[in-house]
Chains A and B, each alone.
Chain A
């Protein structure tokens, strides 16, 4: 909508706060520039949280719809990245709740990490043979759901206990406890693997 490719290119150079201000004024090109800039992180977070490639893209799309509607209420335009990620968190949790009502998670065909090849058929040997990151993925997959959510929201999105509590609709004390349990389990698994 801003017209020339030169102007589009310019938008890729400007800071978040300026783009968020323009988008709040109704500039769709600025909004799209924000979406492109933070899309990969939003998608990565949604994939880890939902465990599903298709759900993750639905989450990103729903997040952008909600963001466009609510952007003019954002008090600090410079904080737009964290704000987008908090919406991704809430939307992902919504998707998990919906999915639980419909289907067994283990039946997901488009499961995240499923595409990394045959080595994944045996998580144990994968942990031994694969990279440390692959081992962490496997350990993460074995965590209780609630612990994994806390861990991802903390480590991927750097949310505070209060923000995570809000997203998951639990108390900040529960967040602190679950996050600690998650880390202890993961740290132990990784130390054993070292």
Chain B
């Protein structure tokens, strides 16, 4: 089917930090992996989408352009000492979507303590 990339299609091993990471903090790659696990384990999260919206198709010549790298599911950026974490998630309908989003943000923050953190969570799909 033409589902967007979902967590179950991308093993955590494929997850990497985005190339836009401004400062290469040690262990950031491993951290993105850890955080993906944290996000996925929140009750109500059904999928994690690439944090950077990406248009891709494997039609013809477009192939070589888009196969350059695997899209990052969790983006980490160092913003003047504050670690900015970005995630796009799909949620089920068993729990209220806003509550799930808040819980994801809290779980990420808790995992990163005591590091100063700003979490950005987008719910891109509810139900289905």
Contacts and interface: CB of A to CB of B under 8 A. Distances in A.
A61 B59 contact: yes
Nearest to A95: B60
Contacts of B55: 69
A1 B60 contact: no
Given A28-B2, A28-B3, A32-B1, A1 B57 contact: no
B1 A2 contact: no
B59 A62 contact: yes
Contacts of B57: 61, 65
Contacts of B2: 28, 31-32
Nearest to B125: A1
The prevalent SS among residues of B at the interface is loop
B128 interface: yes
Contacts of A58: 59-60
Interface in A90-115: none
Interface string B1-14: 11100000000000
Interface residues of A, number: 11
Interface string A144-181: 00000000000000000000000000000000000000
Contacts of A61: 57, 59-60
Contacts of A3: 128
B32 to A, nearest CB: 26
A31 B59 CA distance: 17
A1 B128 contact: yes
Interface in B1-47: 1-3
Interface in B97-128: 128
A65 B1 contact: no
A62 B3 contact: no
A31 B1 CA distance: 11
A65 B58 CA distance: 10
Interface in A1-41: 1-3, 28, 31-32
A62 B60 contact: yes
Nearest to A31: B2
A190 to B, nearest CB: 37
Contacts of B3: 1, 28
A93 B2 CA distance: 26
17 contacts: A1-B3, A1-B128, A2-B128, A3-B128, A28-B1, A28-B2, A28-B3, A32-B2, A58-B59, A61-B57, A61-B59, A61-B60, A62-B59, A62-B60, A65-B57, A65-B59, A69-B55
Which 5 A-B pairs have CB atoms at the shortest separation, nearest pair first? A65-B57, A62-B59, A61-B59, A1-B128, A28-B2
